[in-house]
Amino acid sequence: MRTTSFLFLLAVGSNFVFAQKSVTPDPVLVQIDSQIDSLSHIADSYPPDINPEDSTAVQAAVAFCDHIVDQLEALLKNESGNAGLHRRLGEVFRMGHNLNIKGAGQNAVEHLTTAIKLDPSDPDAYFSLGLFYVNANFEFAPEAEQMFRKALELSPEGSPSYAYQGLAFAYYYQGKMEESVMAWHIFLSLHPDSESAKNLLKIALGKLSH
Amino acid sequence: MRILICILLYILNSELATAQDSIRVFGATVRCASLNSSIWEPSQRGLDSSSNKFVLMYTHSPILDKEGISIQPVIAVICEELSSPLNVIDYSLWKRKQVSFIVDSIYSKYSSTLSYWNGIGYAAHYGRNSLVHKLFVGHFRHKHVGVQVICDSTEGVYEAVEQDFRSFLRSVTLAD
């Protein structure tokens, strides 16, 4: 008589240990967060949600971005070791990069990296840096993957669901189609009505079958 | 009177359809369907001290395939405590390195094959001892708990257990 418990035996047989992380919420700067949220409606991704022919609108968005940067840099003068300020500044520069502000990309990486060094337990900084990498250049997809994975590892259950979307792109750009399909599945389990995600899952499945 | 009987039958039927097993382990509650005990015999239930994993395992009564080989399909639930809250993709990739199989399809709650959002399901196969094994596998995670569900059969008797495999995998949920 044959039993089919071979996989089961393999599955039971091993043990691994991972480092433990915790989450430190930062409730400071609610007003600036509101401005960052407003900016994100326009410039969270590339290309920004703004008519490039409308120079007045483009200038207004750039000016709004600069205004938030000025406020954060003023605060940072007195608190250079404040991880939350660096993270916010990095996030604003990331969106500035999407608005084609010169040097914004480099500033984004610098501030977000500093934020992570100062507070390695902040998932938002990893998520932001992941977004920058995944939007900036396909070559940065491995770095983006690492950032999204770290953000998920550090986050409360299911909260950064968009990190799965970022992961799906990061895997896709690296040709890791099976992983990309898995990430789209999880994202769609949380956002079943996302038509763009459904289409991107189909594309990844198409690449996987070839 | 007829209505009363209908209601009683409906309630009884609902109870049978939703009969659930529950495992409280490593600070999480894992729920899954109760299997038909006349064909699925519970062969293991408890903490495996050598691996520190909680194991729930059912073995199907023997089924003869066309070659006359007696096959006992298995459904196993293996729960383990994770030292870090791995995302479910990393957890699944890690488990697949240890327990390898060839993936035929990938499933999730989105595809309605699972009911728990933080899980990845697979229809898969592998070969062993001249037999092709067909299986459904689910990898689930909730906070610091990872759960593998392995529904393993051979190609020759797969049809007889496929529905049980699908129903069981779909029934698995994790909570605090």
The DSSP code sequence of chain B is -HHHHHHHHHHHHHHHHT-EEEEEETTEEEEEEPP-TTTEEEEEEEEETTTTEEEEEEEEPPEE-TTS-EEE-EEEEEEEE-SS---HHHHHHHHHHHS--EEEEEE-TTTTS-SSSSEEEEEEEEEETTEEEEEEEEEEEETTEEEEEEEEEEGGGHHHHHHHHHHHHHH-EEE-
Would residue A126 count as lying in a domain? no
Q: What is the pLDDT of residues A86-116, one digit of tens each?
A: 999 999 999 999 999 999 999 999 999 999 9
How far, in whole angstroms, is CA A58 from its chain's centroid? 24
The total number of structural domains in chain A stands at: 2
Partner-chain contact B95 A185, CB within 8 Å: no
CA-based max dimension of chain B? 59
Among candidate residues A88, A120, A152, the one where a domain is terminated: A120
Averaged pLDDT, A12-25: 35
Cα–Cα distance measured from residue B124 to residue B137, given in angstroms and rounded to the nearest whole number? 7
Which pLDDT score, from 0 to 100, does residue A16 have?
27
Question: Do residues A105 and A147 share a domain?
Answer: no
CA distance B87 to A155: 10
Looking at the structure, tell me whether residues A97 and A166 fall in a common domain: no
**Measured between beta carbons, which residues in chain A are less than 8 angstroms from residue B93?**
179
B29 CA to chain A: closest CA distance, Å? 15
Average pLDDT over residues A10-14: 44
- Say if A128 falls within a structural domain: no
Range A41-69 average pLDDT: 90
Strand-strand pairing, B70-72 and A2-3: parallel
- Residuewise pLDDT in 10s, chain B (176 residues): 555 554 544 444 444 445 788 889 898 999 999 999 899 999 899 999 889 999 999 999 999 999 899 999 999 999 999 987 788 999 999 999 988 899 999 999 999 899 999 999 999 999 988 899 999 999 999 988 999 999 999 999 999 999 999 999 999 999 98
Structure tokens at A87: 């993270």
Which amino acid is residue B127, in one-letter code? G
Residues A155 and A95 in one domain: no
Does residue A191 share a domain with residue A160?
yes
- Name the pLDDT band for A31 (thresholds 50, 70, 90): confident
Query: Percent of chain A at pLDDT above 70?
Result: 84
**Strand partners of residue B64:** B70
Nearest chain A Cα to B130, which residue? Answer: A2
Q: Do residue A149 and residue A115 come from a single domain?
A: no
Helix (H, G, I), strand (E, B) or coil at A16: coil
**pLDDT confidence of residue B16:** 44
Surface of A (12-71) touching B: CB under 8 A: 12-21
The count of domains in chain B is 1
Output DSSP code: residue A147: H
Residue A17 has pLDDT above 80, yes or no: no
Q: Least CB-CB distance to A182: which of B76, B92, B131?
A: B92
pLDDT over 60 at A1, yes or no: no
Does residue A19 fall inside a structural domain? no
pTM: 0.81
Contacts of B106 in chain A (CB under 8 A): 178, 181-182, 185
Same domain assignment for residues A91 and A32:
yes
Which helix (H) or strand (E) segment holds residue A143: the answer is: helix A141-154
Q: Last residue of a domain, which of A65, A85, A120?
A: A120
CB contact under 8 A, A185 and B94: no
At A109, give phi and psi (nearest 5°): -60, -45
How do B173-175 and B28-33 pair as beta strands? Answer: antiparallel
In a domain, A7, yes or no: no
CB within 8 Å: B86 and A153: yes
Q: Which residues contact B143 (CB under 8 A, 6 or more apart)?
A: A157, B27, B28, B85, B176
Instruction: Give domain status of residue A8, yes or no.
Output: no
In a domain, B4, yes or no: no
In a domain, A37, yes or no: yes
Residue A17 lies in a domain: no
> Could you count the other beta carbons within 10 Å of the beta carbon of residue A35?
18
A1: helix, coil or strand?
coil
Is the ipTM of this structure higher than 0.85?
no
- Per the structure, the complete domain to which residue A33 belongs is given by 28-120
Domain limits at B101?
20-175
DSSP-based three-state secondary structure for A167: helix
CATH of the domain at A166: 1.25.40.10
pLDDT at A204: 94
> Does residue A15 lie in a domain region?
no
A55-78 and A30-43 helices cross at what angle (nearest 10)? 150
Which of A8, A20, A192 is opposite residue B74, by nearest beta carbon?
A8
Same domain, A43 and A81: yes
**Same domain assignment for residues A163 and A116:** no
pLDDT band at A24 (very low <50, low <70, confident <90, very high): very low
Tell me if B30 sits within 8 A of B147, measured CB to CB: yes
> Is B10 within a domain?
no
Instruction: Quote the tokens at residue A110.
Output: 């610098």
The answer on A111 and A42 residing in a single domain is yes
Q: Do A181 and B70 touch (CB under 8 A)?
A: no
Query: Are A179 and A101 in a shared domain?
Result: no
Residues A71 and A151 in one domain: no
Residues A32, A116 within the same domain = yes
Instruction: Of A49-53, A193-197, B27-31, B101-105, give the lowest mean pLDDT range.
Output: A49-53
Q: Is A185 helix (H, G, I), strand (E, B) or coil?
A: helix
Mean pLDDT of chain A: 85
**Per-residue confidence at A158, pLDDT binned at 50, 70, 90?**
low
The pLDDT score that the predictor gives to residue A51 is 87
Task: Extract the tokens encoding A186.
Answer: 């999880």
* A27 pLDDT higher than 80: no
Q: For the domain that residue B140 is a member of, what is the CATH number?
A: 3.40.1000.10
B15 located within any domain: no
Nearest to A12 among B51, B108, B129 (CB): B51
Nearest Cα neighbor of A185 from A201, A196, A167 is A201
